[in-house]
Amino acid sequence: MSQRPNRKPKVALLYGGNSEEREVSIRSAKAVHRALTTLNYPVEKISVSKDLISRLKNARPDIAFIAMHGNSGEDGTIQALLDALKIPYTGSGVLASALAMNKTMSKRLFIENGIQTPSFVSARKESQNDIAEDIRSSCGYPAVVKPASQGSTIGLSIVKSAKELSKALKMAFVYDNEILIEQQVKGAEVTVGVLGNSNPVALPTLEIATKTKFYDYRTKYTAGLSNHIIPARIGKKQRELAKKMAVAAHKALGCRGFSRADFICPKGKDPFILEVNTVPGLTNLSLFPDAAKAKGISFKDLVSKLIDLALEEKSE
Ligand SMILES: Nc1ncnc2c1ncn2[C@@H]1O[C@H](COP(=O)(O)OP(=O)(O)O)[C@@H](O)[C@H]1O
Ligand SMILES: [Mg+2]
């Protein structure tokens, strides 16, 4: 039987889910869908719910494009299901996704690999005995309290003294049984995208200039509340270092395809890495696509590159 030459792989575009970042996922999927259609990929959009397995079996895709953020889709669970069904997918595998989703685990790996990250204390809901003492002896105040496994600045707050601690802990524990309390670092908010499998390369540094106190959910997803400045205004040496650190973090966690590392860069000092996102936002306001564009990679090119990288993985 003759095969159609250069038939594009059939893509199942997975989106939605029930994470706090569901709305962003829907927006990412819209943008990715538009790109895939323009590029002539046969594509089926699948809103992820209980019937995911039967929908995938019916769709019989060659590849799944995961446009899901947060603790459904970015944490390794969907990836495990796709592995079991032998469907290749964009982005990182099960372990890297799960490690990156948990900020405590990622920070342990950053430290082990010499990638500077703010000092921290981790705490679990069931044993909060000596947190105040631990904070005093390790990271001090002001400190940032956040759930270990959330995104989009959800459940995060700044604590200026021990007095404010219990309220902040309570808020973070709403979202996770595990939280971390981190030294607050003051400086420029910088993010660095990384693209590739075994030889990943960093995209240009991107500085986020916000008009709000935090780079929070509303700021991230409302046009005009933040500006992207490429490259970041942090000095050449720091820019190169942030790019090196982003690639090192991508490798330390075992990421594939793409990732985006968030940093705080204090003036004239080495950057501090905060976290790695394994499914960075792919909306028209998003950071990763903007940094890619600055390197001459259009949104369409990016989408097809992610598919190529995912299929390359399959043949390894
Ligand atoms: N240790 C810290 N020092 C200063 N600012 C922080 C710190 N941790 C978080 N932030 C602020 O909160 C934002 C979100 O934190 P981050 O760790 O990237 O989690 P997520 O993006 O998953 O919610 C950061 O972009 C930064 O503005
Ligand atoms: Mg972040």
Same domain, 204 and 310: yes
Q: Give me the CATH number covering residue 157.
A: 3.30.1490.20
Phi (first) and psi of residue 214, to 5 degrees: -115, 160
Could you tell me if the CB of 207 is within 6 A of ligand 1? no
- Name beta bridge partners: 228: 208
Told to judge if 189 belongs to the known catalytic residues of this protein, a careful annotator would answer no
Integer angstrom CA distances of residue 278 from 181, 203, 235, 256: 22, 15, 27, 9
Same domain, 109 and 202: yes
Same domain, 152 and 229: no
Tens-digit pLDDT profile for residues 258-316: 999 999 999 999 999 999 999 999 987 799 999 999 999 999 999 999 999 999 954 44
Ligand nearest, relative to CA of residue 214: 1
Could you tell me if the CB of 24 is within 6 A of ligand 1? no
Same domain, 137 and 15: no
Q: Does the pLDDT at position 186 exceed 70?
A: yes
Told to judge if 20 belongs to the known catalytic residues of this protein, a careful annotator would answer no
Closest by CA to 256, choosing from 194, 304, 190, 315, is 194
DSSP strands (E only) in 95-142: 120-124
Q: Does the pLDDT at position 105 exceed 60?
A: yes
Ligand 1 atom with minimal separation from the 150 CA: 22
Which residue, 156, 183, 210, sits at the end of a domain? Answer: 183
Which residue is catalytic, options 277, 286, 290, 313? 277
Residues 6+ apart with CB under 8 A from 210: 189, 219, 225, 226
Q: Does the pLDDT at position 253 exceed 90?
A: yes
Residue 61 in any domain: the answer is: yes
Ligand nearest, relative to CA of residue 175: 1
Q: Does the pLDDT at position 128 exceed 80?
A: no
Domain that holds residue 230: 99-116+185-314
> Which span out of 15-19, 99-103, 161-165, 167-171 was modeled with the highest average pLDDT?
99-103
Q: How many domains is the chain built from?
A: 3
Same domain, 142 and 58: no
- Name beta bridge partners: 183: 143
Told to judge if 74 belongs to the known catalytic residues of this protein, a careful annotator would answer no
Which residue, by CA, sits nearest to atom 22 of ligand 1? Answer: 151
Same domain, 190 and 253: yes
**Global pTM value:** 0.94
Closest by CA to 227, choosing from 211, 203, 243, is 211
Tens-digit pLDDT profile for residues 45-77: 999 999 999 999 999 999 999 999 987 789 999
Return mean pLDDT, the chain: 91
Q: Does the pLDDT at position 3 exceed 60?
A: no
Told to judge if 281 belongs to the known catalytic residues of this protein, a careful annotator would answer yes
